[in-house]
Amino acid sequence: MDVISVIRAKRDRIPLTDAQIDWTVDAYTRGAVADEQMSALAMAILLNGMDRREIARWTAAMIASGERLDFSSLARPTADKHSTGGVGDKITLPLAPLVAACGAAVPQLSGRGLGHTGGTLDKLESIPGWRASLSNAELLDVLASTGAVICAAGDGLAPADKKLYALRDVTGTVEAIPLIASSIMSKKIAEGTGSLVLDVKCGTGAFMKTVEDARELAETMVSLGTDHGVKTVALLTGMSTPLGLTAGNALEVRESVEVLAGGGPADVVELTLALARDMLEAAGIHDADPAKKLADGSAMDVWRRMISAQGGDPDAPLPTARHTHTVTAPATGVLSRLDAYDVGVAAWRLGAGRARKEDPVQAAAGIELHAKPGDTVTEGAPLLTLHTDTDERFAGALDALGSAWDIAAPGTTVDTPPIVLDRIA
């Protein structure tokens, strides 16, 4: 078996055999296949796809590359959630403690930023002292004591995916549906959760631009989960406009705490509650109202315990940027469009994301939104505020925002699509 033959087969649209897939994933994990060779194969998969058998086998090989966790000792049913990534998508932060407050155990293994989308771990690491890396024993201890944990997948859990995940980020292959599906589901199945709710995003700021592509990805992942005995549901949600009013790391943590305190942007609250209800349903918990747990402070209590259990200080001030730049509205009217992708790229260029897998991110970098589509804006009033620690980044960010918005005539009615577009089970 050799990797060149595998690359050529996929380049020429020949389905990979089970033996080729097993060997390739194992060899890449061991370092026998180089990053540049796996990059070529990933690009061939992006361009030519995989059939259902290939995806299932690739996922199984990713799972087999490492260990599997066992949460059978917990007194609560387990429920997890995964988002395919978007701009301003801080939903995991309020969602995990909320579902835990309702009686489930939430083992939320999360990732870092991919391209223009933010990463949950990058956001939480803006909290002083908070640790993303936990041993399996620590993970289980935090989960048992608080009901929720948000952390990085351990080195022993689907190690093939850990290498490939970082490589896809910097080689233009993030959008490959087979690689997205196998990446997500290999970690979630190996993680050992009993049920899983997927937030599959579509729109300009998502990796899946159309509802059709998002539905294909959702159906693929639901099938993979079901076949491995994990009750899996997917929501298709819109991502053409950023979620909430912030895109960045510390900025999104601050907004998440506002949601846990009973406030926050309406769209963030709506999606958090929608996902919480499906997670509780999948876990078999039918007597808890997540809206009440958000309003009465129960979810905030779990958040504080969870952050503290991972070494963080929930009362510590979050980092603030050394430099800010305000973008003002060029005209008076109604904001009819604010493109999520452009905002995400601008936040990335400000330092909130990474261009190479080894790059650090700035905790304080990002963008504040002062208006959303449908809002009235006034010429000269703040539209966006850009945050960064390195002011030479403003030029690139402003260039990315050059065509990010449209302003319609005063009094124009703007139709905003629903946040949840479909549900697949």
How far, in Å, CA of 77 to CA of 285, rounded?
A: 8
Q: For residue 117, list its beta bridge partners.
A: 114
Catalytic residue among 183, 240, 256, 336: 183
Catalytic residue among 81, 112, 116, 187: 187
Query: Distances in Å between the alpha carbon of 228 and those of 202, 377, 423?
Result: 26, 50, 20
Burial of 378 (0-12, 13-18, 19+ CB in 10 A): middle
Catalytic residue among 80, 161, 199, 339: 161
Contact 285, 104 (CB under 8 A): yes
Catalytic residue among 10, 81, 82, 393: 82
Q: Classify residue 105 by its DSSP letter.
A: B
255: tokens are 């907004």
Residue at token pair 């958040």: 303
State the distance between the two ends of the chain, measured CA to CA, in whole angstroms.
38
Q: Is 123 marked active-site?
A: no
Contact 59, 186 (CB under 8 A): yes
Catalytic residue among 112, 168, 201, 349: 168
- Fill in the amino acid letter for 321: A
Q: Is 82 marked active-site?
A: yes
Q: Provide φ and ψ at 149, rounded to 5°.
A: -145, 135
Q: Classify residue 393 by its DSSP letter.
A: G
Q: Is 161 marked active-site?
A: yes
How far, in Å, CA of 380 to CA of 304, rounded?
A: 40
Query: Distances in Å between the alpha carbon of 282 and those of 149, 182, 341, 381?
Result: 19, 21, 32, 45
55: tokens are 């995806």
Q: Is 187 marked active-site?
A: yes
Q: Is 131 marked active-site?
A: no
Catalytic residues: 82, 161, 168, 183, 187
